[in-house]
Amino acid sequence: MAATQRKTAAEKITNISISELYPFPNHPFKVRDDDSMCETVESIREHGVLVPAIARPREDGGYELIAGHRRRRACELAGLEAMPVLVRNLDDDAATIIMVDSNLQREEILPSERALILAEDEGFDLPRWAGQVAALACHRHASHSRSRSNPPISN
């Protein structure tokens, strides 16, 4: 569990076991094992984790990771058992704002990730909406195909 603690303005930075850090539900950002991740792993091996992750306590035990999913993965790949985490008691709205804000600072955000953020922000039920768009596209394609298979007769 927590190996060391340091208080900062009524919050604490704690070294937490990687196995106790769970992803934020419906986290729209992907953690990819790409060249950028390799660079992060090497940086952590050389300098340690320079910026602590942010998490909140879970009712079922452990911590829900709000910001720092890439750092968590890099620590795992670097062979670390724990990482520094700023533990905060946050409601769902505050946690979502921090999660989105911390990820918008990344240089490369996929269009699909940006769409998920915007959809959630506007209150869209994205899976339902995407299903409706797909159904409409299939309907249009079927209508277009029928009209092409029976071309009009011209004189």
Domain 5-108 matching CATH 3.90.1530.10: the answer reads yes
Task: Quote the CA–CA distance of 153 and 112 in Å, as a whole number.
Answer: 44
Q: What is the DSSP letter of 42?
A: H
Strands, DSSP E only, in the chain? 5-8, 11-17, 21-22, 53-57, 63-67, 82-87
Residue 126 burial (10 A CB sphere; 0-12, 13-18, 19+): middle
pLDDT tens-digit readout, 121-144: 555 554 554 554 455 445 444 544
Residues 5-46: tens digit of each pLDDT:
444 445 789 999 999 999 988 777 788 899 989 999 999 999
- Given a cut of 70, is residue 3 above it in pLDDT? no
Here the tokens at position 146 are 């029928």
Spatial neighbors of 86 by CB under 8 A, at least 6 apart, are 8, 11, 12, 13, 52, 53, 54, 55
pLDDT in tens, 59-72: 999 999 999 999 99
Given this model, what pLDDT does residue 42 score? 95
**Over 70: is that where the pLDDT of 1 sits?**
no
Q: Domain spans of the chain?
A: 5-108, 110-150
Is residue 55 pLDDT above 70, yes or no? yes
pLDDT at 110 over 80: no
3-state secondary structure of 13: strand
Max Cα separation, the chain? 87
Residue type, 113: E
- pLDDT tens-place string over residues 57-106: 999 999 999 999 999 999 999 999 999 999 999 999 999 888 888 876 65
Between 115 and 26, whose confidence is greater? 26
